[in-house]
Each structure stands twice: as structure tokens, then as C-alpha cells.
């Protein structure tokens, strides 16, 4: 669904795109050869490899193979390092989309207590950095965190990005808090849902994103913006 929607986004705004749907048994050498060809292709401004990869492939090596100037996901170590010091051209799509949503909600980050649940390289860690760059006071929670509910209740801004359906319940949310749900799961009925128990938490939160239809479209919008940025940088 995500890949299909990205193709539609490209068509809508006039960005040329190619999709390579490779067999599951594709080798590391074959995948890296394709990345090398796209790195050298002047027609291509941006490259992304849809994660996760099959277990026999080295995800880290694949990400490192992408030219940082064409890395529209901003996963390459050099781009991650630039984000860390606050001197970047490209931002990871989901964390950047979250920041746009927070701003659109009218929530000021500066001086606020921000809690990020999840510490992945794709969302949790860069999300914490972006909130820190906006002068938020940031706590990162994870599977080893003690008193998770207490930490969440202290948050003025709560970002859930852990991948566990309806983990964040209404009693874990501070009244009036801004709640951003990055999760994409299926509930006991097979219906798409996030990491937040939306129906109950919306009665407590000051602002909240739904799943689907919240962070996902923003992730795709930032991907389009990153693609335009890489074209300009080239």
C-alpha cells in the first residue's frame, strides 16, 4: 500500500519514478549492483530501498551503498550524522512529517516535555533529535523503560513509534497533550490501528493523529519534498 501510494504521489506532482520489485531471493551482490547503477544514473535524483529486507540481506550495507546525496530516506550514516549536529539537507521522512503535524496543531515544542516511545534508527532516535533541535526536553522510552505509563503521563508531546497495537491507553496520557501515533498495526479484528488506543485517548488528548490517515500521508509528503531537494542539490 505504501509503495503504491508513493507512485501515485510522484505522478500527482510530476516526479518521474521507477519501481524495482525484486525477487525475494535476490542476492546482496545483485542488489548492490542495482544501487550502483542508480547512483551513477544522472536521471535519478533520489533512491530508496523499501525496508525491511529479507533476512539474508545485509540492510546496513545496502543503506551505506546509496549515494548520500540521493538518499531521500536520510538513512545513510553521513546524513544521520548531519541530523545529529543540526546541519542537514535531508530529514528522515516520518520524523520530519511528525514535526510538521506538531506545528500544524499549533503546539510549541520549546520548553515542553517530549516523550518518544521507541528507539529505532528510522523513527525513534531521529525523532528525539528533531524535538531537541526545537528546544524540547526529550525522553526516549523503550522495552527496558521502568514505569512507562508514568513517563508517558508526564509528556506535553507524546510520540508513539514502537509497533505494538493500542499500547498507549487513555490513563497514560496527560490531559491536553499532543499525541502523535506513528504505529501501523492490525488489531484483534484485523483492522488497521496504531500504537495508541485512539477512541479512548482522543477524549483526553488536546490533539491526536488517527491511523490510518495521520502520519502516513505526511511521511509520503516529506519523501516528495526530499526528492525535490536532492534534485536541487544535484
At 95-121, the pLDDT tens digits run 999 999 999 999 999 999 999 999 999
Query: Mean pLDDT throughout 204-213?
Result: 97
Please, where are the H alpha helices in the chain? 2-13, 28-40, 59-65, 77-85, 93-104, 124-133, 148-153, 198-201, 215-233
Per the model's pLDDT, the better-predicted residue between 24 and 188 turns out to be: 24
Query: Mean pLDDT throughout 24-37?
Result: 98
Catalytic residue among 11, 36, 41, 50: 50
Query: Mean pLDDT throughout 209-222?
Result: 96
pLDDT at 226: 97
Inter-CA distances, 217 with 35, 97, 101, 128, 167, Å:
26, 8, 11, 21, 22
Let me know if 127 is a catalytic residue: no
% the chain with pLDDT above 70:
100
Residue 188 has pLDDT above 90, yes or no: no
Q: What gap in Å lies between CA 120 and CA 232, rounded to an integer?
A: 29
Catalytic residue among 6, 70, 112, 125: 6
CB 71 within 8 A of CB 90: yes
Q: Name the residue with cell 518518544.
A: 116
Q: From 3.40.50.720, 3.40.1410.10, 3.30.390.50, 1.20.1290.10, which CATH number describes the 93-216 domain? A: 3.40.50.720
16: CB partners within 8 A, 6+ apart: 10, 43
Query: What are the residue ranges of CATH 3.40.50.720 in the chain?
Result: 93-216
Let me know if 113 is a catalytic residue: no
pLDDT at 97: 98
How confident is residue 60, by pLDDT bands cut at 50, 70 and 90?
Answer: very high
Residue 158 has pLDDT above 90, yes or no: yes
What length is written for the chain?
234
Residue 1 has pLDDT above 90, yes or no: no
Please, where are the H alpha helices in 14-153? 28-40, 59-65, 77-85, 93-104, 124-133, 148-153
Catalytic residue among 71, 73, 156, 195: 73
Query: What are the residue ranges of CATH 3.40.50.10860 in the chain?
Result: 1-68
What CATH number was assigned to the domain covering residues 1-68?
Answer: 3.40.50.10860
pLDDT at 166: 96
pLDDT at 2: 82
Q: What gap in Å lies between CA 56 and CA 77, rounded to an integer?
A: 22
Amino acid at each position: 500500500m505504501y509503495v503504491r501510494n508513493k507512485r501515485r504521489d510522484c505522478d500527482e506532482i510530476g516526479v518521474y519514478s521507477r519501481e524495482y520489485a525484486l525477487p525475494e531471493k535476490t542476492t546482496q551482490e545483485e542488489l548492490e549492483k542495482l544501487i550502483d547503477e542508480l547512483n551513477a544514473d544522472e536521471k535519478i535524483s533520489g533512491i530508496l530501498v523499501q525496508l525491511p529486507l529479507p533476512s539474508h540481506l545485509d540492510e546496513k550495507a545496502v543503506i551505506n551503498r546509496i549515494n548520500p546525496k540521493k538518499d531521500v530516506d536520510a538513512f545513510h550514516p553521513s546524513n544521520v550524522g548531519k541530523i545529529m549536529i543540526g546541519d542537514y539537507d535531508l530529514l528522515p521522512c516520518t520524523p520530519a512529517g511528525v514535526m510538521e503535524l506538531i506545528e500544524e496543531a499549533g503546539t510549541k515544542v520549546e520548553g515542553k516535555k517530549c516523550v518518544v516511545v521507541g528507539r529505532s534508527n528510522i523513527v525513534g532516535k531521529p525523532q528525539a533529535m528533531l524535538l531537541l533541535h526545537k528546544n524540547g526536553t526529550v525522553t526516549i522510552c523503550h522495552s527496558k523503560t521502568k514505569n512507562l505509563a508514568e513517563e508517558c503521563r508526564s509528556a506535553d508531546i507524546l510520540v508513539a513509534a514502537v509497533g505494538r497495537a493500542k499500547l498507549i491507553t487513555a490513563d497514560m496520557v496527560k490531559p491536553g497533550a499532543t499525541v502523535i501515533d506513528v504505529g501501523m498495526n492490525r488489531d484483534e479484528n484485523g483492522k488497521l490501528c496504531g500504537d495508541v488506543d485512539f477512541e479512548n485517548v482522543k477524549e483526553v488528548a488536546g490533539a491526536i493523529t488517527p491511523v490510518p490517515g495521520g502520519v502516513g500521508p505526511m511521511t509520503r509528503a516529506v519523501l516528495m519534498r526530499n526528492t525535490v531537494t536532492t534534485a536541487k542539490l544535484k
